[in-house]
Chain A
Amino acid sequence: MSVSGYQGKKSIPHITSDRLHIKGGRIVNDDQSFYADVYLEDGLIKQIGENLIVPGGVKTIESHGRMVIPGGIDVNTYLQKPYHGTTTVDDFYQGTKAALAGGTTMIIDHVVPEPNQSLLTVFEKWHEAADNKSCCDYSLHVDITRWHEGVKEELEVLVQDKGINSFQVYMAYKDLYQMTDSQIYEAFTFLKGLGAVVQVHAENGDLIAQEQNKILSMGITGPEGHALSRPEELESEAVFRAITIANQVNCPVYISKVMSKSAADIIAQARKRGAVAFGEPITASLGTDGSHYWSKNWAKAAAFVTSPPLSPDPTTPDHLNALLACGDLQVTGSAHCAYSTAQKAIGKDNFTLIPEGTNGIEERMSIVWDKAVAVGKMDENQFVAVTSTNAAKIFNLYPRKGRIAVGSDADIVIWDPDKTNTISAKMQKSALEYNIFEGMECRGSPLIVISQGKIVSEDGNLHVHQGMGRFIPRKPFPEYVYQRIKTRNRVMALQGVSRGMYDGPVHEIPATPKYTTPAPSAKSSPAKNQPPPIRNLHQSNFSLSGAQIDDNIPRRSGHRIVAPPGGRSNITSLG
């Protein structure tokens, strides 16, 4: 592993040009599979077909009928997340190396600014670190850790000039990152205007804080306290609320880290009602469960600490894989955020101080294959969809990434569905001492990984060097996400009822001391100030709207309007 520079240990002929010819493979896209050869040049797919005419001397890969799939896209990594002055042990170099080894050729990392920092500054910091270290292509999400007016300008710059189209807001981490519902509403409204993908860390932070206090006061300080203080109801509640708010704003919403059955079910239900919602289970929730929080080995238990936590319900991975297979959940990430045991031990006497995060960047593809495809829940095309294509569509990278087609980037994996390998901390590329999937035997693993048209992994040997990864900018308003939103914007326009002016008697409000606390939102009503507490019956004496002198007298008139208005509730409830 230590010699994993550009030249591997074995005497692989140095690849002089960027030309490759993959022969005899079965190309698997999200829509179909077919047998064809692929010719790569300059990091792009140049030709697909049989009997391709290629220049002489091109390196040829015989794939013997194995599958040729688009390289995986890991939509959720934290390779530089700071915690109390320390950062993750897997940085952009270590992390992307692990990604490539597992068949993932692109990552989207989260930029996590401190709440008081400028988004742009921190974004540049991440950008620089990744440019210097990353071995595979990458893009960045920016987490909005504090909502205030000033943030809007920075968001505009990020979207328009910096190639960022996705931002995460937090419903948890009270007094740190957490936003109120009003702030979320505002953030959703603003981000929708920019055409961004809104990601949500969905957990009810208020309740978590309460539960943490309670559990610490009971004397529970170990990692099991982490799971006990964040029961899955708190996750599903927040998911429900996020979707409700998004529906009000008509904004698409993307739930990152779906960890429990109930949260996944809520996303599925919302989609059935027409909500534009996406759910991202991660390697950990698809591959293992939360029973390990009760391990007697502190280090082992602490390795599983992540938020939302893994569910102690052992049927969770199966359920999430099933929803992934049927399309109710769409993308998979890893939320790879690796802290060493010593770092985790910062919280050895208080579970709330344990830095959060698990591994998964390297294992993701194999775990999805093993848990979903090898057991017959999912077919190979859907496998491609959930590991790369859908991610590329949602985040507007398609068809550059996530598809094997002429003109697409040459990020390709030759996948062997039959090869099994046993996950172990001893064998992994990550710098962690502990692997949460330790001992798991996975069917399906990559034979050859090609990134930017170069072979970067072959038979388990990596040929990478720091800084080969490029930043992939992304444009706002991804079609896959925003087409429906745009149409709904048009058809959902609100309409008031045009009625004659009410000119009956108005109760006089005594100008009593309590005048300061009027109705909920009197303050924002534009121009329409609170009606003065005096009678002015004839302010609008003549109106052309046909108001009658007796309009104020209730009657059973014939104009009962049964059809509700503009259709807001119709649009989103297709049922």
Chain B
Amino acid sequence: MSYQGKKNIPRITSDRLVIKGGKIVNDDQSFYADIYVEDGIIKQIGENLIVPGGVKTINASSYMVIPGGIDVNTNLHMPYMGMTPADDFYNGTKAALAGGTTMIMDHVLPEPGSSLLAAYDQWRELADTKACCDYSLHLDITRWHESLREEIEALIKDKGVNSFLVFMAYKDKYQCTDSQVYEMFSIMRELGAIALVHAENGDIIEEEQKRLLEFGITGPEGHVLSRPEEVETEAVYRAITIAKQANCPIYITKVMSKDAADVIAQARRKGMVIYGEPIAASLGTDGSHYWSKNWAKAAAFVMSPPLSPDSSTPDYLNSLLSCGDLQVTGSAHCTFTTAQKAVGKDNFTLIPEGGNGVEERMSIIWDKSVATGKMDENEFVAVTSTNAAKIFNFYPRKGRVAVGCDADLVIWNPKGTKIISAKSHISVVEYNIFEGMECRGAPVVVISQGKIVLEEGNLHVTEGTGRFIPRKTFSDYVYKRIKARNWMAEVRGVPRGIYDGPVHDVTSTTKAVPSTPSSRGSVCPGKAQMVPVRNLHQSGFTLSGTQMDDHIPRRTAQRIMAPPGGRSNINSLS
């Protein structure tokens, strides 16, 4: 499977290609036109194009030409107890291209407490030498402290990263408290980054894990029993609440259950700027396999949040994806071999988490959504590439077939079928969680950076050809509304006369220490805690018109019905 395929395909001397007779499908419309590609860029679109002679021509008639897929969530180098996934950047991106995905966004996962920049450099180096398709990087924040702010700013300014993942699970490891999440969200909003959230309640999970292990349940079914979908839903709800307070857009990675998806859909209905990402696994299969008698099979499904045992989940998530309540799809591709998974053979909490999906993602969505009539071909393009490019700010460079865009194209055969199997997949793991699934819809030709990488079932890829795609902050698609709301949601106080009635003497006795909820509120500028002495006349003369009897309650006419600055109005459009 090296650059020179087995068959003697004429070696492509230049980067010029003509795609003829295909139906171009973008997220907004479909039309028939030819495409001319040169130097990795789409140069011309139209009929009867004038192109140089001797250019390789691809006949795409009866096929669709769609923007290459963007897989927004992969973990091709996630370290776990000294192991790394079996599919590294080379194998993983090869699998991606084979499935019609021409760009991936991988998660950088630093050890808690280590430098984000160092981890970023490590990932860059690995990916630059191994990736076969364009890639970009998310940064996972595994331990929050104030000093990370500088690193985050540096990553945003100089390194082209605009998205950061926050963990609400993995207690004592990656998990953040609500206060920390709030702080991070505030910083993300200020810097214009996208806050990604791994939403599961780590506290509850830990307690449940203890309980199950005490019960003697050690197999993979313990994984799903300890992480019931309510725990995911709760965290999604909380993340949304925090984001609303911080007026920060959020993005929920790995939407695995119906309830969690519903919570996102409801929040959107209330005006939240929120995005949800179901993954190939949750769209294509369910969690009943955790109870398989075959340990290796059951373990292959272990991922977090887990697949829901409810077998109607995939259908439901595909429906929400079709109607726009969920917007993007990833794969969370993170594969460990059976031997690696077996580290947790006696304790499900030690099984390394992750499943495959980078290769199957496009076909599964076509099969489950488009072929069944839930979704049209344009929405298919939207959820597999365009929305991702918009959210993460590389639109229209990616995610669209238009003049000037990167020549990442897929010639898609909606009628082709393919049976997914570990025997034929590109990934190196022994097990495929979609084993035996027959998918309608498959890529015929895949073009990455203007070069044919898949043709007639043969891959022609080279390690290290993938480029890093830097991304800028304040993506319009996400931040336009936030900016407007920032301006609107300003809070104002009530100007009133100074209260000069009697004040109860606070006995400055023993219990002065654990004062009020937020004695932390000492940030309050200049206003130190009230001195426990009467000083009624500190402000004897004021010009504000206070009266001697202001403190006496009365039914005045100044009942102000309209609440203030509109904070709660802004976000509830209803």
Residues 337-348 of B, flagged 1 when their CB comes within 8 A of A and 0 if not, give 111101111110
Contacts of A205 in B (CB 8 A): 517
Given the complex of chains A and B, what is the CA–CA distance between A45 and B369 in angstroms? 68
Assess whether A222 is interfacial by the CB under 8 Å rule: yes
Assess whether A10 is interfacial by the CB under 8 Å rule: no
How many residues of A are in contact with the other chain, CB < 8 A? 125
On A, residues with C-beta under 8 Å from B are 84-86, 114-115, 172-176, 180-182, 185-186, 189, 204-213, 215-222, 224-225, 228, 231-234, 236-237, 240-241, 244-245, 247-248, 290-292, 294-301, 303, 312-314, 340-343, 345-350, 352-353, 425, 433-434, 438-439, 494-497, 499-500, 502, 504-507, 509-510, 512, 514-515, 517-522, 524-526, 528, 530-531, 551-557, 559-565, 568-569
Contact in complex: B311, A518 (CB < 8 Å): no
Contact in complex: A504, B527 (CB < 8 Å): no
- Within B449-506, the residues touching A (CB, 8 Å) are 491-494, 496-499, 501-504, 506
On B, residues with C-beta under 8 Å from A are 81-83, 111-112, 169-173, 177-179, 182-183, 201-210, 212-219, 221-222, 225, 228-231, 233-234, 237-238, 241-242, 244-245, 287-289, 291-298, 300, 309-311, 336-340, 342-347, 349-350, 422, 430-431, 435-436, 491-494, 496-499, 501-504, 506-507, 509, 511-512, 514-521, 523-525, 527, 529-530, 550-556, 558-564, 567-568
Known contacts A348-B503, A562-B288: A504-B296 contact under CB 8 Å = yes
- Besides A207-B178, A352-B521, A520-B349, 7 more A-B contacts (Cβ < 8 Å) are A175-B520, A209-B521, A297-B553, A346-B504, A521-B213, A557-B294, A565-B225
Q: Find B179's partner among A86, A209, A215, A554 (CB 8 Å cutoff).
A: A209
Q: Looking at the assembled complex, report how far the CB atom of A131 sits from the nearest CB atom of chain B, in whole angstroms.
A: 25
Given the complex of chains A and B, what is the CA–CA distance between A560 and B290 in angstroms? 10
Q: Find A114's partner among B177, B230, B511, B520 (CB 8 Å cutoff).
A: B511
Given the complex of chains A and B, what is the CA–CA distance between A174 and B234 in angstroms? 20
Q: Looking at the assembled complex, report how far the CB atom of B63 sits from the nearest CB atom of chain A, in whole angstroms.
A: 31
Contact in complex: A296, B210 (CB < 8 Å): no
A-B contact pairs, 20 of them (CB 8 A): A84-B511, A176-B516, A182-B206, A182-B207, A185-B204, A231-B568, A248-B204, A299-B499, A312-B563, A341-B551, A341-B553, A345-B503, A350-B524, A497-B292, A500-B295, A506-B345, A509-B83, A519-B344, A520-B170, A520-B209
Q: Find B310's partner among A176, A504, A569 (CB 8 Å cutoff).
A: A569
Q: Looking at the assembled complex, report how far the CB atom of B487 sits from the nearest CB atom of chain A, in whole angstroms.
A: 15
Given the complex of chains A and B, what is the CA–CA distance between A303 and B499 in angstroms? 13
Closest residue of chain B to A186, judged by CB?
Answer: B207
Q: Find A531's partner among B350, B520, B567 (CB 8 Å cutoff).
A: B350
Closest 3 CB pairs of A and B: A181-B203, A216-B524, A206-B178
Given the complex of chains A and B, what is the CA–CA distance between A516 and B492 in angstroms? 49
Known contacts A172-B517, A213-B520, A554-B435: A349-B527 contact under CB 8 Å = yes
Q: Looking at the assembled complex, report how far the CB atom of B485 sits from the nearest CB atom of chain A, in whole angstroms.
A: 14
Given the complex of chains A and B, what is the CA–CA distance between A86 and B503 in angstroms? 12
Given the complex of chains A and B, what is the CA–CA distance between A180 and B430 in angstroms? 41
Contact in complex: A86, B504 (CB < 8 Å): yes
Q: Looking at the assembled complex, report how far the CB atom of A319 sits from the nearest CB atom of chain B, in whole angstroms.
A: 13
Contact in complex: B521, A213 (CB < 8 Å): yes
Contact in complex: B179, A494 (CB < 8 Å): no
Q: Find B350's partner among A348, A505, A530 (CB 8 Å cutoff).
A: A530
Contact in complex: B231, A213 (CB < 8 Å): no
Contacts of B229 in A (CB 8 A): 569
Given the complex of chains A and B, what is the CA–CA distance between A212 and B519 in angstroms? 10
Contacts of B520 in A (CB 8 A): 174-175, 209, 213
Closest residue of chain B to A174, judged by CB?
Answer: B517
Q: Looking at the assembled complex, report how far the CB atom of A523 sits from the nearest CB atom of chain B, in whole angstroms.
A: 9
Contact in complex: A559, B293 (CB < 8 Å): yes
Contacts of A554 in B (CB 8 A): 294, 296-297, 300, 338, 422, 430-431, 435
Contact in complex: B350, A518 (CB < 8 Å): yes
Given the complex of chains A and B, what is the CA–CA distance between A298 and B134 in angstroms? 61
- Name the residue in A347, A352, A520, A555 with the highest tally of chain B Cβ atoms < 10 Å from its Cβ: A520
Q: Looking at the assembled complex, report how far the CB atom of A565 sits from the nearest CB atom of chain B, in whole angstroms.
A: 6
Given the complex of chains A and B, what is the CA–CA distance between A562 and B289 in angstroms? 7
Contact in complex: B517, A561 (CB < 8 Å): no
Contacts of A502 in B (CB 8 A): 295-296, 342, 345
Contacts of A439 in B (CB 8 A): 555
Contact in complex: B560, A291 (CB < 8 Å): yes
Contact in complex: A353, B555 (CB < 8 Å): no
Contacts of B555 in A (CB 8 A): 438-439
Contact in complex: B529, A350 (CB < 8 Å): yes
Contact in complex: A248, B238 (CB < 8 Å): no
Known contacts A294-B563, A530-B347, A564-B309: A520-B518 contact under CB 8 Å = no
Contact in complex: B245, A225 (CB < 8 Å): no
Q: Find B559's partner among A114, A245, A295, A521 (CB 8 Å cutoff).
A: A295
Q: Looking at the assembled complex, report how far the CB atom of B556 sits from the nearest CB atom of chain A, in whole angstroms.
A: 6
Q: Find B218's partner among A216, A301, A496 (CB 8 Å cutoff).
A: A496
Given the complex of chains A and B, what is the CA–CA distance between A305 and B311 in angstroms? 48
Contact in complex: B81, A509 (CB < 8 Å): yes
Contacts of B435 in A (CB 8 A): 554, 556
Given the complex of chains A and B, what is the CA–CA distance between A497 and B222 in angstroms? 9
Contact in complex: A173, B517 (CB < 8 Å): yes
Contacts of B215 in A (CB 8 A): 494, 496
Contacts of A296 in B (CB 8 A): 494, 496-497, 556, 558, 560
Contact in complex: A237, B241 (CB < 8 Å): yes
Q: Looking at the assembled complex, report how far the CB atom of B50 sits from the nearest CB atom of chain A, in whole angstroms.
A: 53
